């Protein structure tokens, strides 16, 4: 790990020095304590003068053994910082991103939007102007050049479940707790704004953390009624299927376990939406693939379209996941979400997903009709062509060679682009995990997000598949993988352009400047880094590069895989046609 910054708050300081006696408990200390108590161990930062005292406080928080309780992780810019925190929240359950006012926060809003869309409790913390400046109508740097300093809070309200600005130190405990509680409950981001002259201001000590952590429990009467309604919905149906969506994981491991129990009690087929890949074990006999209409895997669509009842769990139906609205299930749905369940004609609130699924498992009848039919429909395993050593590298050959790298310890990150389709077609062995950002779909997400994820779970083998266009958006953050010596393996698929956009709608704007990606990573090494990188153009070269990557442990490995510009998956082409058609629908009202 990196040498830790010295705790400059332990001695008196001159700048804002009046609050700096080491024994004084401050607003910054309060925030640090709460972040640690909710399980955060790293905070992602870009410094700026409005947040420096706060950073000192967060970095100065010590654990019982006198070691830093929060490890500060500097990022190259605030977009990457927020995306790294987003990835960390996927692995850790919550994350913190600390930035400066406006110039930092407005960039970090992007990763915050991702956390909202992807249901992750990312705590965005921004330093802000001295509390005296607004009343004195001062014009300040890093602002719009007016004396209104409320705009950032107002903007944050739209992309978080709770946004608070601390105007007085005495309000800090209440407001910080409110924001953290809201984020953890809703699995959405929250925003906390701390003026530069309040981070070091004296503050009350926190009460028990249960006030922040305790989940809202199911209402017993509603739970019983919901389970009764669900049993009635399923009763008399002949062909029942389960469809799992991405919100299942956000409801916690208890919900995933309860779903497994319910599925086994029902004995029916279980398909997943693309963004929920890996949320039901792929080696389970009831697993029937990824359902997204015509580009489904393992013929999941044939069974979902045959079913007369679909129990949807954590599902999200969007233009992308329904392949341009061509794959909305046609039967009336029962949809169980994190805290409510909806039936055709009724909805029940204050029901925790794990309680509902677990309770229903004890009340359902076993009905294997969809499994019986699926055995007749299940496609035979595809015969995979092994390319010759000197054959030009192809998308399929990359897929074939990456597949055996996936094991129980692997987490596969797939980026927007054909990497989505290539990754979704891969088979996840038991224990392997899959991360995708399909709702927000920000190109470049996978580089900082896999970095943040790997910091939280260094025991996992992280593999990232990313296109050349996406890589160019956030490439700098590979340098943090170098700095932290994280052995992330990046497969950069260089098809010389924005192929996913080509398949939706082509134009010259989809061509990009080619880079020497392998050389760029060497530049990040400078004098003290140990990233490995290479460029491969044949199957044989890829095989050697993978062997090299497996042995490279004290830094990332980037393998630039050069393929032909027109080499893309059939699924992307099909999906692109339907998404283009959905985008092109004429206005209903002119």
Question: Whose CA is closest to 187, among 318, 280, 92?
Answer: 92
Residue 281, binding choice from ligand TPU, Mg ion, none, Cβ under 5 to 8 Å by partner class: none
Q: Is 132 helix (H, G, I), strand (E, B) or coil?
A: helix
Give the total residue count for the chain. Answer: 590
Contact 279/438 with Cβ under 8 angstroms? no
d(Cα 42, Cα 291) in Å, to the nearest integer? 36
Q: Is 236 left (phi over 0), alpha (psi -120 to 50) or beta?
A: left
Residue 274, binding choice from ligand TPU, Mg ion, none, Cβ under 5 to 8 Å by partner class: none
Residue 500, binding choice from Mg ion, ligand TPU, none, Cβ under 5 to 8 Å by partner class: ligand TPU
Contact characters 239-278, Mg ion, x per CB under 5 A: ----------------------------------------
Binding to ligand TPU, residues 467-506 (CB under 6 A): 467-470, 493, 495, 497-501
Q: Is 112 in the site for ligand TPU (CB under 6 A)?
A: no
3-state helix, strand, coil in the chain (%, to 5): 40, 15, 40
| Least Å from the CB of residue 421 to ligand TPU | 9
Non-local CB neighbours of 346 within 8 Å, separated by 6+ positions:
229
Residue 578, binding choice from ligand TPU, Mg ion, none, Cβ under 5 to 8 Å by partner class: none
**Closer by beta carbon to Mg ion, 296 or else 495:** 495
Write out the E strands in 370-519.
410-414, 433-436, 461-467, 489-494
**Choices 124-132, 144-152, 432-440, 490-498 (CB under 5 A): range interacting with Mg ion:** 490-498
d(Cα 550, Cα 556) in Å, to the nearest integer? 10
Binding residues for ligand TPU, rule CB under 6 A, total: 18
Question: Whose CA is closest to 442, among 75, 45, 84, 43?
Answer: 84
Contact characters 460-479, Mg ion, x per CB under 5 A: -------xxx----------
- The response to whether 407 counts as a known ligand-binding position is no
**Closer by beta carbon to Mg ion, 82 or else 474:** 474
DSSP 404: G
Question: Whose CA is closest to 293, among 304, 283, 281, 301?
Answer: 301
**Closer by beta carbon to Mg ion, 297 or else 499:** 499
**CB burial of residue 303 (10 Å; 0-12, 13-18, 19+):** buried
Contact characters 499-538, ligand TPU, x per CB under 6 A: xxx-------------------------------------
**CB burial of residue 375 (10 Å; 0-12, 13-18, 19+):** exposed
**Closer by beta carbon to ligand TPU, 113 or else 487:** 113
Residue with tokens 């400046």: 133
**Choices 74-82, 189-197, 474-482, 498-506 (CB under 5 A): range interacting with Mg ion:** 498-506
**What is the separation of C-alpha 252 from the centre of its chain, rounded to a whole number of angstroms?**
14
Q: Is 417 in the site for ligand TPU (CB under 6 A)?
A: yes
Token reading at 464 = 């990232």
Residue 441, binding choice from Mg ion, ligand TPU, none, Cβ under 5 to 8 Å by partner class: ligand TPU
Q: How many Cβ atoms are within 10 Å of 573's Cβ, its own excluded?
A: 15
d(Cα 315, Cα 464) in Å, to the nearest integer? 25
- The response to whether 497 counts as a known ligand-binding position is yes
Q: Is 418 in the site for ligand TPU (CB under 6 A)?
A: yes
**Choices 37-45, 177-185, 187-195, 410-418 (CB under 6 A): range interacting with ligand TPU:** 410-418
Non-local CB neighbours of 301 within 8 Å, separated by 6+ positions:
291, 292, 293, 294, 327
d(Cα 555, Cα 546) in Å, to the nearest integer? 15
**Choices 143-151, 280-288, 386-394, 497-505 (CB under 5 A): range interacting with Mg ion:** 497-505
Q: Is 84 in the site for ligand TPU (CB under 6 A)?
A: no
Question: Whose CA is closest to 391, among 550, 570, 564?
Answer: 564
Residue 443, binding choice from Mg ion, ligand TPU, none, Cβ under 5 to 8 Å by partner class: ligand TPU
Token reading at 439 = 């709702």
Contact 410/383 with Cβ under 8 angstroms? no
Q: Is 223 in the site for ligand TPU (CB under 6 A)?
A: no
Contact 555/530 with Cβ under 8 angstroms? yes
Q: Is 444 in the site for Mg ion (CB under 5 A)?
A: no
Residue 431, binding choice from ligand TPU, Mg ion, none, Cβ under 5 to 8 Å by partner class: none
**Choices 196-204, 317-325, 431-439, 491-499 (CB under 5 A): range interacting with Mg ion:** 491-499
Q: Which listed residue (495, 538, 557, 569) binds Mg ion by CB under 5 A?
A: 495
Q: Is 472 helix (H, G, I), strand (E, B) or coil?
A: helix
- The response to whether 495 counts as a known ligand-binding position is yes
Contact characters 433-472, ligand TPU, x per CB under 6 A: --------xxx-----------------------xxxx--
Q: Is 411 left (phi over 0), alpha (psi -120 to 50) or beta?
A: beta
Binding residues for Mg ion, rule CB under 5 A, total: 5
| Least Å from the CB of residue 488 to ligand TPU | 17
**Closer by beta carbon to ligand TPU, 27 or else 443:** 443
List residues forming the annotated binding site.
Answer: 468, 495, 497
Query: Where do contacts with ligand TPU occur on this chain (CB under 6 A)?
Result: 416-419, 441-443, 467-470, 493, 495, 497-501
Query: Where do contacts with Mg ion occur on this chain (CB under 5 A)?
Result: 467-469, 495, 499
List residues forming the annotated binding site for Mg(2+).
Answer: 468, 495, 497
């Amino acid at each position: 790990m990196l040498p830790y910054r010295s705790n400059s708050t332990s001695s008196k300081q001159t700048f804002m020095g009046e609050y700096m006696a080491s024994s004084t408990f401050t607003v910054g200390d309060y925030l640090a304590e709460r972040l640690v108590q909710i399980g955060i161990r790293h905070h992602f930062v870009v410094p700026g003068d409005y947040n420096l005292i706060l950073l000192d406080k967060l970095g100065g928080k010590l654990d019982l053994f006198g070691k830093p309780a929060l490890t500060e992780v500097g990022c190259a810019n605030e977009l990457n910082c927020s995306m790294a925190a987003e990835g960390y929240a996927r692995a850790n359950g919550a994350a913190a991103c600390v930035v400066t006012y406006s110039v930092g926060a407005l960039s970090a809003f992007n990763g915050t939007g991702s956390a909202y869309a992807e249901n992750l409790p990312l705590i965005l913390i921004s330093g802000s102007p001295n509390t005296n400046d607004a009343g004195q109508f001062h014009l300040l740097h890093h602002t719009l050049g007016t004396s209104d300093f409320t705009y950032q809070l107002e903007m944050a309200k739209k992309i978080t479940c709770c946004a608070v600005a601390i105007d007085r130190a005495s309000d800090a405990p209440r407001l910080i707790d409110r924001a953290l509680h809201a984020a953890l409950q809703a699995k959405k981001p929250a925003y906390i704004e701390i003026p530069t002259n309040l981070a070091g201001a004296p503050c009350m000590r926190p009460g028990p953390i249960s006030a922040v952590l305790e989940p809202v429990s199911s209402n017993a009467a509603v739970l019983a009624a919901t389970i009764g309604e669900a049993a009635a919905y399923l009763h008399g149906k002949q062909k029942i299927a389960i469809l799992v969506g991405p919100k299942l994981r956000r409801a916690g491991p208890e919900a995933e376990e309860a779903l497994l129990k319910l599925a086994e009690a029902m004995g029916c087929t279980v398909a997943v939406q693309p963004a929920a890949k890996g949320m039901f074990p792929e080696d389970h006999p009831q697993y029937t693939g990824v359902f997204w209409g015509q580009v489904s895997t393992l013929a999941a669509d044939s069974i979902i379209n045959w079913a007369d009842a679909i129990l949807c769990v954590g599902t999200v139906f969007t233009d992308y996941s329904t392949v341009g609205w061509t794959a909305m299930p046609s039967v009336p749905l029962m949809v169980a979400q994190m805290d409510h369940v909806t039936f055709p004609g009724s909805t029940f609130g204050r029901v925790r997903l794990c309680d509902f699924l677990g309770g229903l498992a004890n009340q359902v009848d076993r009905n294997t009709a969809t499994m019986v039919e699926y055995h007749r429909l299940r496609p035979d395993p595809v015969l995979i062509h092994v390319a010759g050593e000197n054959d030009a590298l192809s998308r399929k050959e990359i897929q074939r060679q990456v597949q055996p790298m996936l094991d129980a310890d692997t987490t596969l990150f797939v980026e927007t682009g054909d990497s989505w389709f290539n990754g979704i077609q891969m088979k996840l062995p038991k224990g392997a995990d899959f991360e995708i950002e399909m709702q927000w779909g920000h190109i470049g997400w996978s580089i900082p997000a896999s970095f943040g994820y790997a910091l939280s779970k260094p025991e996992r083998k992280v593999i990232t598949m990313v296109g050349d266009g996406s890589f160019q958006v956030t490439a700098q953050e590979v340098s943090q993988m170098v700095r932290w010596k994280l052995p992330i393996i990046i497969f950069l698929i260089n098809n010389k352009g924005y192929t996913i956009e080509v398949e939706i709608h082509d134009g010259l704007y989809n061509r990009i400047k080619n880079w020497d990606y392998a050389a760029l990573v060497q530049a990040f090494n400078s004098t003290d880094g140990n990233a490995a990188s290479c460029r491969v153009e044949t199957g044989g070269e890829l095989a050697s590069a993978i062997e090299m990557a497996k042995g490279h442990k004290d830094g990332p490995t980037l393998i630039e895989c050069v393929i032909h510009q027109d080499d893309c998956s059939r699924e992307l082409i099909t999906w692109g046609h339907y998404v283009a058609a959905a985008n092109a629908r004429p206005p209903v009202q002119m």
